[in-house]
Structure 1
């Protein structure tokens, strides 16, 4: 592995795998990993391909153990409370399924929510007794108002005669990209006797997570987004006090823990003769989930080595990316003549908690309404909005070899920026100019975006 300490920004690009002309401004969606980690993964795959049975049956578990030790250290959590799953969506779905909701029980979640997580809740409702209630809001919003709305939904749900058993919320919201006050809501859930299920898809590698201190009930975080592992890899944290809930993976596999209370349970389901007995049932549950390429999981040590030896360590990576996200958002907003998403009650000089992450959300000068909106370069109708942001995104990919998400939130279009160690301020100055030109084309009804109206 290349182990020279490398300055952040353009010099860092030599370690990555991007096409020479491509600017990866959207690390938040799918992540990226350096060449050294790719080489580590291919070495594991070569071992598996060379001797499939010895590797899968005898060697893989040892590599997995080392990776779990490494990821647990980053999270300041015990190794036997951390396992791997494919991604945050899988992790949340696995937790929710295992909670085995009964009649009269409900889950509360927040808007905006990651779409796959919400669909998972809806799907679970179709196959169980679960009921759900949503905390409706739009950013920007104060933390106090967000807490007030959550408590009000909980109160009303209980008045319906339902037990609020769990709450699902983010560490960092995906769209709009901003930090969620998850620490505050973990404490509120504990106070209210509600299980906290944390979708930390954007978490590990981007912001510090001290799980020994935070003590959420469940948390899943993608390693492939910000920790530099290959796709797909996520860590699922379940403290010992809650591991009795976790009896199956998705799909159910060899580690399945059957319901011992049933006298009709066949003994063959309770004992796997090939199981490694020194591991806890929770650890064994996730060690082998059907035949799958889990090589991304065991690249965690290689990713952490790269972050330490090439980047200077976790604090250096996080500090650079968070500071760059703040600077980049200000730069793009200044070019567009708009503003950055943050709390509405900030006093001059006060730090925005929403912006203390490597994602930032900038308003485009394009309003979405059936009536003109003050301060907008152009106001488009709700029917036109999908065509506009689809055209902007497509044009970024096809004509500029880059991508950033563009989406509607409230009465405006917004864009989300991702900061990373291989980017610097000049990359976002470049992006700001392109976005300004595209917005001007929308205002003049130029370009091909009007042709997309027929399909939306």
Structure 2
């Protein structure tokens, strides 16, 4: 494991939030991506029809080993939201109108909008039910809230068909008890849709042990794969439920019969071919997955050391920022919420001042004047900042962020941004 920052083409301070938002890839892996882009440009037909599918299969196999899953259950999509769409748009809802989608109030906003769209377009066939949670809370409180929501659904004459939940919540950025909720779904006969947008590369993912019904996780956030790339896992038992890639393309098998397919014949499953080609897009990030996994082992010493370093740094860095701001870190008594590479620190500003416009001013000012960005979010009557830890950062970077945030809060109290 390296003990010093790695060479990146952006400020180390910027990376305090970049990993949680959009990710960042090392130069070596971006060079690998551009090599494949050049191959595709030099001979598009040869590369895209005959060479790319073979390389893609190698990357699917590498990812399958990384998350401990069969290769034929693994495909790649552009991002986690695409995977969520693929599942929810393809599910069949009963015509009696009793089906429900269960989700937690800390859901990522984009995924919540997918639920809204499915409900709005279902013509009354499906509804949604939120599970309100307020951090900090214990894992067992979240499991209890899940069971209470199931009972509320029954009491309302409904039935929960699927539940969507995080590996690590986005805002605030805390570890969610995804393993316990996956098991609770299985025991209750509810489909589990795990949103691991913040997942692979940050926390250990073992899909054989977890056994979710659907799982998607961005590779461009924590695994060092260039944007944009996400692993999409669907076990064999559920692949019939996901009949189309997004967008629908040559891999789709219509019920009305076959159509002409200009791509080379394949003996792969319908699920794999659905996502192998979804139109002419730049899929070069997908073929960087194997290289990124090997790079992490070769340069950084492997996943155990990476996760130990980043999770420890997030905890120590969060405490350092809290000392500077004279506030607190968001965590529960058992400290399970902080077992990830992100930390959340309360800002010393009255929540009445933390209006949406003030938050927007603070984040815009970070970009314009401080050349950085830290995500802000009001939760449980308090304004929090979310900071990310990575191998090229150290506690001094968090301290820098703490002083920057303190200065911004002082400016708000003096009337700026309002």
Q: TM-score, normalization: structure 2?
A: 0.95
Q: Is 1:426 paired with 2:415?
A: no
Measured in 2, the distance between the counterparts of 1:52 and 1:229 equals 23
**1:367 aligns to what?**
350
Q: Is the 8 A contact 1:217 1:242 kept in 2?
A: yes
Pairing partner for 1:438 from 398, 408, 411: 408
Q: Is 1:108 paired with 2:102?
A: yes
Q: Is the 8 A contact 1:108 1:132 kept in 2?
A: yes
Q: Is the 8 A contact 1:275 1:284 kept in 2?
A: no
**1:77 aligns to what?**
69
Q: Is the 8 A contact 1:8 1:423 kept in 2?
A: no
Counting only pairs closer than 5 Å after superposition, residues 313-392 of structure 1 correspond to structure 2 as 313-343=302-332, 346=333, 351-369=334-352, 380=353, 385-392=355-362
Pairing partner for 2:239 from 226, 238, 243: 243
Q: Is the 8 A contact 1:367 1:411 kept in 2?
A: no
Measured in 1, the distance between the counterparts of 2:39 and 2:412 equals 53
Pairing partner for 1:145 from 138, 141, 144: 141
**1:155 aligns to what?**
151
Q: Measure how far apart 1:81 and its partner are.
A: 0.5
**1:225 aligns to what?**
221
Deviations 1:8-50 (A, max 9, x none): 443x1x2x232x5863211110000001001100110001100
Q: Is the 8 A contact 2:13 2:401 kept in 1?
A: no
Q: Is the 8 A contact 1:276 1:284 kept in 2?
A: no
Where does the alignment leave 5 or more consecutive residues of structure 2 unmatched?
A: none
Higher relative contact order (CA 8 A, sep 6+): 2
Q: Measure how far apart 1:277 and its partner are.
A: 3.2
Pairing partner for 2:376 from 406, 420, 439: 406
Deviations 1:54-108 (A, max 9, x none): 1111111011001101111110001000000000000011011111222321110
Counting only pairs closer than 5 Å after superposition, residues 24-423 of structure 1 correspond to structure 2 as 24-26=15-17, 27-102=19-94, 103-128=97-122, 129-259=125-255, 265=256, 267-269=257-259, 272=261, 274=263, 276-343=265-332, 346=333, 351-369=334-352, 380=353, 385-423=355-393
Q: Is the 8 A contact 1:172 1:202 kept in 2?
A: yes
Q: Measure how far apart 1:273 and its partner are.
A: 6.9
Measured in 2, the distance between the counterparts of 1:156 and 1:316 equals 44
Measured in 1, the distance between the counterparts of 2:52 and 2:402 equals 46
Measured in 2, the distance between the counterparts of 1:22 and 1:155 equals 46
Q: 126-135 or 276-285: which moved more?
A: 276-285
Measured in 1, the distance between the counterparts of 2:324 and 2:102 equals 39
Partner of 2:164: helix, strand, or coil?
strand
Deviations 1:197-254 (A, max 9, x none): 0000000000000000110110000000000011010000001111111111121111
Partner of 2:276: helix, strand, or coil?
coil
Q: Measure how far apart 1:359 and its partner are.
A: 0.8
Q: Is the 8 A contact 1:8 1:311 kept in 2?
A: no
Partner of 1:251: helix, strand, or coil?
coil
Measured in 1, the distance between the counterparts of 2:406 and 2:14 equals 18
Measured in 2, the distance between the counterparts of 1:275 and 1:181 equals 43
Q: Is the 8 A contact 1:25 1:419 kept in 2?
A: yes
Measured in 2, the distance between the counterparts of 1:21 and 1:148 equals 40
Measured in 2, the distance between the counterparts of 1:147 and 1:31 equals 30
Sort the Cα spacing of 1:196 and 1:21 in 2 relative to 1 into closer, same or farther, 3 A: closer
Q: Is the 8 A contact 2:320 2:398 kept in 1?
A: yes
Q: Is the 8 A contact 2:13 2:397 kept in 1?
A: no
Measured in 2, the distance between the counterparts of 1:8 and 1:296 equals 28
Q: How many residues align?
A: 413
